[in-house]
Chains A and B, each alone.
Chain A
Amino acid sequence: MARRTAIVGIGQTYHCARRDDVNGQELINEAVTRALEDAGLTMKDIDAIVIGNMDHFEAINYVDGWSVDGSGAFMRPIMKLTTGGTSGMTVATAGYYHVASGFFDVVLAIGWEMNSSSDTTAAITTCCQPLIERDFFAGAIGPLAAEYTAYIKRFGATEEDAALVSVRDHNNALNNPHAHLRTRITVEDVMKSPVLCYPIKLLDMCPRSDGACALIYACEGKAEKLAPRPAWVHTIAGSRDFVYMGEPFQHEELITLERASARAYKRAGITDPLKEIDVMELYLPASTTGVKWMESLWVCGRGEAPRLIREGVFNMDGQLPVNPSGGPLATNPIGATAMIRVGEAALQIMGKAGDRQVPNVRTALATAFGSCSWSDVTILRDTKP
């Protein structure tokens, strides 16, 4: 039986397109310092550290080594994990496992990225098999754009449906002081923005951000003392699928998210996610995914997401607010992006989300997406599991 474990501290850096003012280690330290302050701890209280990013974006390997002074890992156990876009949640999950296993009481998890170091799309493209598919794969955008053409054809969704998601997330970000992009936009702005990969336009796609996030996990017995309202981890579930981009047997769905969320709901005793979950922080790399992936989260039937989006069900004042923080469409330091989803979900449980707080959050869900097409799900609650 796993030990009960909660998130008790969250630290996010200032996120923007270029953090010229810091190097990687200093960026990591900024998030760590803020997480410690948030939990009222010092580095002496930390038993172990987990860290991760996507090395090929900066072309500097072994962040577990070179960041030791800034991460606080000097003479402590540290483990580095990287899994593509899901890295931030993989690292968060490992932080949870470290505590839940009983080996450590208080653990620091760090996700970070200095995206401005390289051409992100070129770097992402190296995840694709070089002999078979790499030349036909346009980074993260290409397959996401192509998937939406299949979804449009099957269900009659529109580019405007995706634009509504973009408008929701961008405008939610106006309430988030940590958001990289904080500009009010309209559906017309999205539709008029330049096409990156048809049918995805500039304002449909996440930006590239520099930034870091750190979370502090603590065991039962310590968590209640450190936070008045800790965010208890109820379950974590992940799924991986294919090796080749042409692989999913149904491109309209995200089968890994379907399987992972179904498993998470079962473990958390959730039968009607639309009613039983109070807020979702979703790793939506493109607005199009905020349409089609809602079905993979079982909040509606196949092809029903466009109607729910047009009705505003996932808006801040809707039945199930999605991405109060603005999500990845507003802020995307890739190795941290998935961890920010967990951190924002935790802030909602802890009642510390400021202007982006959804009232009375008791159950929050966070997701991660990575290449390709991987999904992780975390469910947090204000009560112990």
Chain B
Amino acid sequence: MAGTAGETPELIKVHSGAVEVPYDWHCGPYWSRFFRGLRDEKKIYATKCPSCGRVYIPPREVCGPCFARMDEWVEVGPEGVIEMFTVVRLPYTNPSTGEPLSVPYTDVYVRLDGADTSLMHWLDETDEKKIAVGMRVRAVFRDKRTGTMHDIEHFKLI
């Protein structure tokens, strides 16, 4: 063994350094139409199940509970209701960039008018005393849009 009597042998730890692995993610026809709606029309499109009638946001091909294919598109929002929220104060690393995230920010789950599921996004208010479940909010679109979730800058209280 390394180390002599009376000494604690050194335990070595190795740090990986910043690891960057680039990925390509495919959106497919449903998300692509959703992102094109945000980018080109400032509209939020959802899909409706022919079997149970639920309106899904984000849109997708299959209703999981019914295992049914959805072909009907409907517009939802841009206003809705806060279903739940949290003000994030815990600092952690953004896994997409490796950079520390700046806190606080507010995650909000918005039940957009006409939808049966909620869209997760940011709210432009970080004082929890000013936010309540059930409050109405509205999507704020960016002027410069590129076809991502961030074409909506955030939601604001109305």
Residues of A within 8 A of B (CB): 20-21, 59, 119, 121-123, 125-126, 130-139, 141-143, 145-147, 149-150, 152-153, 194-200, 241-247, 249, 251
- Contact assessment for B96 and A130 in the assembled complex, using a CB-CB cutoff below 8 Å: yes
Closest to A120 in B: B92
Partner among B64, B88, B121, B132 whose Cβ is within 8 Å of the Cβ of A197:
B88
- Contact assessment for B149 and A135 in the assembled complex, using a CB-CB cutoff below 8 Å: yes
Residues of B within 8 A of A (CB): 11, 13, 16, 19, 25, 27, 31, 57-58, 60, 64, 83-90, 92-96, 107, 109-110, 116-122, 128, 132-134, 148-150
Residues in chain B near residue A125, CB distance under 8 A: 92, 95
- Contact assessment for B89 and A196 in the assembled complex, using a CB-CB cutoff below 8 Å: yes
Residues in chain B near residue A149, CB distance under 8 A: 84-86, 133
19 additional A-B residue pairs with CB within 8 Å, beyond A141-B90, A147-B84, A199-B128: A21-B11, A59-B16, A123-B95, A131-B148, A131-B149, A136-B121, A139-B90, A146-B84, A149-B85, A150-B83, A194-B89, A196-B90, A198-B86, A198-B128, A199-B86, A243-B60, A244-B117, A245-B120, A251-B84
Q: When chains A and B are docked, how far (Å) is the Cα of A30 from the Cα of B73?
A: 56
Expressed in whole angstroms, the minimum distance between the Cβ of B137 and any Cβ of chain A is: 14
Can you pick out 13 interface pairs between chain A and chain B where the beta carbons lie within 8 Å of each other?
A59-B16, A119-B92, A131-B149, A136-B107, A138-B86, A141-B88, A143-B86, A146-B84, A150-B83, A195-B87, A198-B87, A246-B118, A251-B83
- Contact assessment for A130 and B85 in the assembled complex, using a CB-CB cutoff below 8 Å: no
Partner among B11, B58, B95, B119 whose Cβ is within 8 Å of the Cβ of A122:
B95
Residues in chain B near residue A130, CB distance under 8 A: 25, 96
- Contact assessment for B149 and A132 in the assembled complex, using a CB-CB cutoff below 8 Å: yes
Residues in chain A near residue B13, CB distance under 8 A: 20
Known contacts A137-B107, A249-B116; is A131 also within 8 Å of B92 by CB?
no
- Contact assessment for A246 and B25 in the assembled complex, using a CB-CB cutoff below 8 Å: no
Expressed in whole angstroms, the minimum distance between the Cβ of A116 and any Cβ of chain B is: 9
Residues in chain A near residue B87, CB distance under 8 A: 195, 197-198
Q: When chains A and B are docked, how far (Å) is the Cα of A367 from the Cα of B16?
A: 35
- Contact assessment for B107 and A131 in the assembled complex, using a CB-CB cutoff below 8 Å: no
The secondary structure that dominates the B interface is: loop
Closest to B58 in A: A132
Q: When chains A and B are docked, how far (Å) is the Cα of A194 from the Cα of B88?
A: 12
Residues in chain B near residue A251, CB distance under 8 A: 83-84, 109
Q: When chains A and B are docked, how far (Å) is the Cα of A27 from the Cα of B151?
A: 46
Q: When chains A and B are docked, how far (Å) is the Cα of A153 from the Cα of B133?
A: 7
Q: When chains A and B are docked, how far (Å) is the Cα of A276 from the Cα of B52?
A: 37
- Contact assessment for B93 and A119 in the assembled complex, using a CB-CB cutoff below 8 Å: yes
Q: Which 9 pairs across A and B sit closest by C-beta, in order of nearness?
A: A246-B118, A145-B86, A122-B93, A153-B133, A121-B92, A150-B84, A146-B84, A198-B87, A196-B90
Residues in chain A near residue B60, CB distance under 8 A: 243
Expressed in whole angstroms, the minimum distance between the Cβ of B139 and any Cβ of chain A is: 13
Expressed in whole angstroms, the minimum distance between the Cβ of A59 and any Cβ of chain B is: 7
Residues in chain B near residue A126, CB distance under 8 A: 95
Residues in chain A near residue B83, CB distance under 8 A: 150, 246, 251
Expressed in whole angstroms, the minimum distance between the Cβ of B141 and any Cβ of chain A is: 16
Residues in chain A near residue B121, CB distance under 8 A: 136
- Contact assessment for A245 and B31 in the assembled complex, using a CB-CB cutoff below 8 Å: no
Residues in chain A near residue B149, CB distance under 8 A: 131-133, 135-136
Q: When chains A and B are docked, how far (Å) is the Cα of A226 from the Cα of B10?
A: 41
Closest to B111 in A: A246
Expressed in whole angstroms, the minimum distance between the Cβ of B123 and any Cβ of chain A is: 10
Closest to A121 in B: B92
Expressed in whole angstroms, the minimum distance between the Cβ of B18 and any Cβ of chain A is: 12
Expressed in whole angstroms, the minimum distance between the Cβ of A69 and any Cβ of chain B is: 19
Q: When chains A and B are docked, how far (Å) is the Cα of A242 from the Cα of B60?
A: 12
Q: When chains A and B are docked, how far (Å) is the Cα of A195 from the Cα of B128?
A: 11
